[in-house]
Structure 1
Amino acid sequence: MSLPFVVVLPLLIIVTAGVYYVYNEVIHFMSRSLVRNKVVVITDAVSGVGTECAHLFHKGGARLILCGTTWDKLESLYDSLTNEADPRETFAPKLVIMDFSDIDSMEDAMSEVLECYGCVDVLICNSSMKLKAPVQNISLELDRNIMDINYFGPSTLAKGVLPTMISRRSGHIVLVNSIQGKLAIPFRSSYAASKHAVQAFFDCLRTEVEEYGIVVSTISHTFINVSELPPAEEQIPKPGILAAYIASQLTHGVRPSVLANEIMETVNRKRKEVVLAHPIPRVALYLRSLFPSFLFAVLAAGVKDSVLAEQMK
């Protein structure tokens, strides 16, 4: 006698969920072992995402080189990592001062990075500078500064580690970018421009170095949400304003821990391109390609609404 469908379906769901859970646990365990002994460079390691990455890769047994602009914060992160880990199973991280806003100092910083272990297996470009302002309010100096940090810094660092990767015919370069490297929204002109530029650079780099066994990955994520709860305005969009809803969804937060885990998975599975975003930003990406005029009209309407709201205050 066969079991009724109402009984079989729940059992099937439970079994499937169990298999999926076990699969994820196995993959998570294997991912840690895959980075053991690998030389991993993390830029802006003292940021929320950088710190989460440092803890993940350190526990996995990687030989970390942590980069940042402030020595005190790097030392604090060093103490945190070494105090919570077993020194018999992990390596003490190396610390390097690196400031993308000072391009002239990059050559010395890269030399110091290579002196640590003589090579780099994984480079994680995590540094970023954000900016939100109308185009007419952004000075040329600020434009150049954001391009240095978001474009010239990562591209210069990638070029610096390439010779050793090419000679060893192995390596992995990961760009932690933004979804605004694929989709520009109002009041982020300089930021979006820098993210588009660095996305294009790494897309070109990927195809150029594939023959040497080097993997280049880009992770395009939405806004990094470090708050405990999402902001109220992101929970409930203003009624009747489609543009406001789309704008809020385009910056829907991604937790640093979630992004760090995605970076680890990207390194271990050698993924080339990852979009870490909620459905609305993904839909907007398709609209940008298939129906650009419609998307532009919606975003323009959103700008008019915001200007009108400011005038009414």
Structure 2
Amino acid sequence: DVLHVLFVMDPNMALPSVMVLPLLIVVAAGVYYIYNEVMQFMSKSLVRNKVVVITDAVSGVGTECAHLFHKGGARLILCGTSWDQLESLYEYLTNDADPRETFAPKLVILDFSDMDSMENVVAEVVEGYGCVDVLICNSSMKLKAQVQSVSLEMDRNIMDINYFGPSTLTKGVLPTMISRRSGHIVLVNSIQGRLAVPFRSSYAASKHAAQAFFDCLRAEVEEFGIVVSTISHTFINASDPPPYIDTSKCIYSSTVITSQLTHGVRPSVLANEIMQTVNRKKKEVVLAHPIPRVALYLRSLFPSFFFAVLAAGVKDSVLAEQMQ
């Protein structure tokens, strides 16, 4: 070891040896910082001029995605169920934006619960710029209930929003991607598309269906140069309203705000992961804490044990409700 020889030969150099570890830490931190800056710059340059469609753009995750891709110079088509919210998001993105570096987003009303409107919506999305480079399927409807209490109408509504809607929109933009032999489709799914838990039967079923559809699609369109990505995340920590909403004009229930869990995936973190997935063409991402990851392995390797744990959890929850 050269450093050891030098320090043995010259006792006066013993002091710098103490500083070797801190120096290495500082250098590593500097390299990491530079790497992040370079990757951030590349992220913006990679999406510049790309036509990016974001569904449910007015949600927390959708808004963060819109902000990132807009700053990167993408040509955005923002979809949502409320025109007022879409306009508010438009103003939020364009107020301080440099028109020489960014493009004004196009707005499209999209409601997956109204499947009869999908043909017109697909036509409007495709005609916006004549093509779609990136489709981000972000829409989702959640439900927590016992199986026997969920109506068939509710089952169908959840399947429309979480499965039939994204799959229909994807089929609509696919021909333009195939003809251009390029494109990227991102499904922002849920960990419950891979791992079903009690009281989420309809939700988990719709997410499993979406996961299977896009897994099949990935293999079918690879020959055309189209990338299909799925992001399986835990629940979204959306205790704060989207930034485009003027909270001074809204009334929020304090009980709702305080009841939000303090952990989970924050919208900004998920949006950054979506951006990195598009830039690096990742095919599958699991954005979850260690416990859900362990549960995935248990479900595959030790199913009997996994089912027993879930059943015990259901019994405990029922007992707790009865004692309240």
TM-score, normalisation: structure 1: 0.91
- Kept in 1, the 8 Å contact 2:184–2:278? The answer is yes
Deviations 1:149-181 (A, max 9, x none): 000000001100110000000000000000000
Counterpart of 1:158 in structure 2: which amino acid?
T
Q: C-alpha displacement at 1:119, in angstroms? A: 0.3
What is the number of equivalent residue pairs in this alignment?
Answer: 296
1:260 is aligned to 271
16, 19, 22: which one aligns with 2:34: 22
1:309 is aligned to 320
| CA gap 1:305/1:89 in 2 versus in 1, 3 angstroms | same
1:270 is aligned to 281
Which contiguous aligned blocks of 4+ residues in structure 1 show a shift greater than 4 angstroms? 3-6, 230-235
1:68 is aligned to 80
Matched, 1:169 2:181: yes
SS of the residue corresponding to residue 66 of structure 1 reads strand
Matches of 2:124 and 2:36, distance apart in 1 = 37
Matches of 2:143 and 2:315, distance apart in 1 = 20
Counterpart of 1:262 in structure 2: which amino acid?
E
113, 120, 137: which one aligns with 2:132: 120
Matched, 1:292 2:307: no
203, 209, 212: which one aligns with 1:197: 209
- Kept in 1, the 8 Å contact 2:61–2:270? The answer is yes
230, 236, 241: which one aligns with 1:224: 236
Give the greater-gyration-radius structure (CA): 2
Unaligned runs of 5+ in 2: 1-5, 8-13, 241-256
Matches of 1:100 and 1:111, distance apart in 2 = 15
2:22 is aligned to 10
1:241 is aligned to none
Matches of 1:13 and 1:299, distance apart in 2 = 44
Matches of 1:9 and 1:301, distance apart in 2 = 49
| CA gap 1:222/1:61 in 2 versus in 1, 3 angstroms | same
SS of the residue corresponding to residue 210 of structure 1 reads helix
| CA gap 1:44/1:298 in 2 versus in 1, 3 angstroms | same
2:142 is aligned to 130
SS of the residue corresponding to residue 144 of structure 1 reads helix
Counterpart of 1:274 in structure 2: which amino acid?
V
Matches of 2:101 and 2:44, distance apart in 1 = 12
Matches of 1:234 and 1:265, distance apart in 2 = 26
Counterpart of 1:297 in structure 2: which amino acid?
A
Counterpart of 1:115 in structure 2: which amino acid?
E
Deviations 1:94-153 (A, max 9, x none): 011111001110000000011111100000000000000010110010000000000000
What CA RMSD, in Å, does the superposition of the two structures yield over aligned residues? 1.7
SS of the residue corresponding to residue 167 of structure 2 reads helix
Unaligned runs of 5+ in 1: 236-251
- Kept in 1, the 8 Å contact 2:239–2:260? The answer is no
TM-score, normalisation: structure 2: 0.88
Residues 174-253 of structure 1: pairs in structure 2 closer than 5 A: 174-227=186-239, 252-253=263-264
Q: C-alpha displacement at 1:234, in angstroms? A: 6.0
- Kept in 1, the 8 Å contact 2:237–2:260? The answer is no
